Structure 1
């Protein structure tokens, strides 16, 4: 990718001169609102409330950066937040009632929203009113390819990740236990089995390998696919030799289930994996009953490790590379995100100010707006030190006792998706612990391999989307139910062929055809 905020030093010149639009400075930071003398343009945005932000704020309108954004763009933003846990239900009711806000931050079926008359096409508006985003798309054709539908339409002002950091979570292990038992970090499935047995037998823990169902995750949790992927497949559709396949009907899935069932029988994985929620998941980690588990580098390790060390100063968590079957193999599935996260702001057909809305959103792709999104207000939340935006104690040592993630969420929008481009310098400071910095490097080592197996952000037609969703909803429910049964032994592994037959009866072949057609269209863009 051509864009590098670390190298774009012209911002310092622009800010020192106090000029918002200068031919010699890259990016248009001009006001998005109506002509001078008019009141601010009202813009309502539907968006789920971030958990960290909700700890100190009632609405995203209270975020320091949002208030500054309003001033810079002559707008009056009204965020509309659905109730936590009822986001999908309330979104569907809103769409059905046609009582729409001006814009919505979503990660969804954009083509269907457009074809249903809910949102508008943005190509011409971007050409005329979003010079900063337009420049990024021109400089990064792969990003433009991801953002555009098969017919060339653009429906969303995107959330982008163009830097080095594109993998944000993985498996962490109790390094202090490894050291105590004189064990090396496991790389292969066989080595993992040795380590987990040692944790069970010599540490006496209930969940040598913890996984389960934190919010918005299936009963397979994030950990189970990690070990499944060591077999070269995943638990959904993916690419194999350039063709779309469905992992759970591949022979390797049976091998994985056989192994995982054995681990369950031997007490190597959490016996409560099918019923874990976030509360029980956290409790097992913090009570030192879990030897290894999936979590995120920032909010996970940044929360768990200090809490563990309060009761045991020697406690230590370190990242473990994604597992493989054979020593020396490279992991292919790493959780790497695409440059476009598939999230973005769409403009509804109820919006009376689409031009001003696009202008306002484009501000976050300007140099000034980029800094505001990722670092907040200079002097309050960051200062420039040798050309590097450095967070102040308001963020890193918050006087009100907020965690780094909570302080960030109070003041700006860097540690969760929103319009604009993420900045690696945010991650470099968000990851305060050395264990976090090491994890970011380790998890990124093989991240490019994921591009060979992961499906890109393809676009389905309205008809395809409806058909595909119905098929995969039935398959997903059945897959998760049977995964639990196979692992705990209620369903013998000898019935695997019947499991595959049932998935075929759900017409997985048609689902694969739909995804293959979408992939072919994507590749032809």
Structure 2
């Protein structure tokens, strides 16, 4: 995958940064006012234009600093399609959270918030400003004005539950990734394919015992063939890949977890204890990198490029090893393990949902029109449009020698830095945006290539999809659903969560490295119980039950 020369399909990653903004007059209403939409004639639902005559609105969002939103082809084209023209407030992302708070405090808000996320438009803010009528509830308007998004909610009731606050209202719209890697909760673990070949390994480990045996072989049998005992069987950074190994012990993360409807605090379970015992065994026998808690990502990559690593984490293996895409296809993804304490194969999974990417304030002259405008992005066509812009901006159609219609970059696009050009066409760059990315859409919407007769090699993307479908999809389990806590619940658990996280993180490292003997497990559990973990679990059990039983 040459990301510089071929654009197959991109998914925005929410950068938790910020921007500032100003809008209209101060709002002194404590409840949502009746909307005055006299004179605004809406078009047919699900069709363009959205309104019959030009409607002007204001929008606030975090700017990536690459181009002004008013100059972006996506917004210009949407204005032509919909008859809705926005004026924009898009200060730098680094200031956005602060400026958004100031805008809410002053009432100087735009009609629409776009490209926000749950780190700057927090769940607490959603509920607070929703209850005050500053953010308007969307649930009834969605059904009437968003046929595409409404269909998604009907087909995925867990999404509706996860964007609905405890009061029963929906105040924001989400980003819904569904591409081949969207199920990854973080980057996977990869095996060094050259080492597997050197040792004649035909089948990947399926149990913790088999994994241990392979790591021993990596350590002792010189798989890199340099005659030195410099192999590092398994490496990581601060054991951040623990979730892939925790699956072997029936868990998926070092936090609260829902298991068959019951919320448990994983770090005090017997399963977690067995995980620590196993990991200490690996570490004590030098099967785990002895610098696992101290090394940087660059140090890890240096070892990978020196062919010293057997199992390692990264988004793709080639990012650590420096291999080409073709060579990286020989590095298989980690296969979920089982153990004596857990015979069920489990792979951790992402919720595949990013909340709070679009909201409508009480200043908005036509919430209905705003929702019809954004609903387009919840279609395959609209998602692709938001990703790469309209024809003529970043790309255009051309015909190759076989008479096929293909998409090629327009004149002036730097083929060696196409992302720079894309960032000037669309806001879907570095921030989460309200849309659904559809599986297989990269096959529906042809890749953008440099020249009409270029051959597109999809073998690496096909490999990633195949590995994901084989090793994650069938065993995927979300640790805990994305849900809302009430204000009272948040206050109850905030300090407890901070204390638990710091203590468990410290003790895990000590148990694994042997600085703390596992014989002190009971004392460790007692300490956690003394931090009021019972209240912590009780609050999340109540929140989970509320989420699970929501209609």
Deviation by residue 1:335-356 (Cα, 9 ceiling, x = unmatched): 2434x44453234566677555
Deviation by residue 1:109-158 (Cα, 9 ceiling, x = unmatched): 85521332264322244345434323433454443233323443112112
- Which residue in the other structure is 1:157 paired with? 173
Contact 2:231/2:309, CA 8 A, preserved across alignment: yes
Contact 2:349/2:479, CA 8 A, preserved across alignment: no
What does residue range 102-251 of structure 1 map to in structure 2 within 5 Å? 102-103=112-113, 105-107=116-118, 111-117=123-129, 119-161=135-177, 166-168=182-184, 169-183=187-201, 184-201=203-220, 202=222, 203=224, 204-205=229-230, 207-212=232-237, 219-221=238-240, 223-233=241-251, 234-251=253-270
- Which residue in the other structure is 2:539 paired with? 514
Contact 1:158/1:344, CA 8 A, preserved across alignment: yes
TM-aligned CA deviation for residue 334 of structure 1: 2.9
Contact 2:332/2:467, CA 8 A, preserved across alignment: no
Report how many residues are paired: 471
TM-aligned CA deviation for residue 365 of structure 1: 2.3
2:494 to 448, 464, 469: 469
Go from structure 1 to structure 2 and tell me whether the alpha carbon gap of 1:150 and 1:179 turns closer, same or farther (over 3 Å shift). Answer: same
- Which residue in the other structure is 1:72 paired with? 81
TM-aligned CA deviation for residue 180 of structure 1: 1.2
Go from structure 1 to structure 2 and tell me whether the alpha carbon gap of 1:425 and 1:377 turns closer, same or farther (over 3 Å shift). Answer: farther
Q: Distance in 2 between matches of 1:92 and 1:276?
A: 37
- Which residue in the other structure is 1:18 paired with? none
- Which residue in the other structure is 2:53 paired with? 36
Go from structure 1 to structure 2 and tell me whether the alpha carbon gap of 1:393 and 1:325 turns closer, same or farther (over 3 Å shift). Answer: farther
Q: Distance in 2 between matches of 1:106 and 1:399?
A: 30
Secondary structure of the equivalent of 1:513?
Answer: helix
Go from structure 1 to structure 2 and tell me whether the alpha carbon gap of 1:314 and 1:357 turns closer, same or farther (over 3 Å shift). Answer: closer
TM-aligned CA deviation for residue 409 of structure 1: 5.8
Higher helix share: 1
Go from structure 1 to structure 2 and tell me whether the alpha carbon gap of 1:238 and 1:328 turns closer, same or farther (over 3 Å shift). Answer: closer
Q: Distance in 2 between matches of 1:42 and 1:489?
A: 58
1:324 maps to 2:349: no
Secondary structure of the equivalent of 1:126?
Answer: helix
Structure 2: give runs of 5+ residues left out of the alignment: 1-41, 448-455
Contact 1:170/1:443, CA 8 A, preserved across alignment: no
Go from structure 1 to structure 2 and tell me whether the alpha carbon gap of 1:131 and 1:502 turns closer, same or farther (over 3 Å shift). Answer: same
Contact 2:380/2:438, CA 8 A, preserved across alignment: no
Contact 1:317/1:435, CA 8 A, preserved across alignment: no
Contact 1:414/1:422, CA 8 A, preserved across alignment: no
- Which residue in the other structure is 2:351 paired with? 337
CA RMSD in angstroms, aligned pairs only: 4.0
Contact 1:126/1:358, CA 8 A, preserved across alignment: yes
Q: Distance in 2 between matches of 1:89 and 1:481?
A: 32
Secondary structure of the equivalent of 1:317?
Answer: coil
Contact 1:333/1:454, CA 8 A, preserved across alignment: no
Contact 1:383/1:390, CA 8 A, preserved across alignment: yes
What does residue range 490-505 of structure 1 map to in structure 2 within 5 Å? 490-505=515-530
Greater C-alpha Rg? 2
TM-score (norm 1): 0.75
- Which residue in the other structure is 2:433 paired with? 418
